[in-house]
Amino acid sequence: MLAHNVYFKLKDRSQAAKEALVTACQRYLTRHPGEVFFACGTLAEDLNRPVNERDWDVALHIVFRTQAEHDAYQDAPRHHHFVAENKDNWDTVRVFDSIVSGAL
């Protein structure tokens, strides 16, 4: 499986802007072929240990059955619509992709 983790730092870091991006993730990035896990949300403000990375606002986590299904997702019209609709408020986008194993 391939885990696709994306961390967005926003230009407008207001709570409303964060919630709008979470809503957009839920609208456009769910239920793609091969998707076995989807989650998105905001920084856990109360977890402020020295090891916590805190320079982001919204996180997206998707696990795909295969890399090919991930690659198809990257080219899907709903994914392109998500990017076009939201990219103007992105200060930084960091993507972490990894091959993972686990129970489904």
User: How far from 94 is each of 31, 34, 101, CA to CA, in Å?
Assistant: 22, 22, 22
Which position has the token pair 């207001």? 14
The mean pLDDT of the chain is: 96
pLDDT in tens, 17-48: 999 999 999 999 999 999 999 999 999 999 99
DSSP annotation of 33: T
Q: What is the pLDDT of residue 104?
A: 54
**pLDDT band per the 50, 70, 90 thresholds, residue 74:** very high
Q: What is the pLDDT of residue 102?
A: 77
- Percent of the chain at pLDDT > 70 equals 98
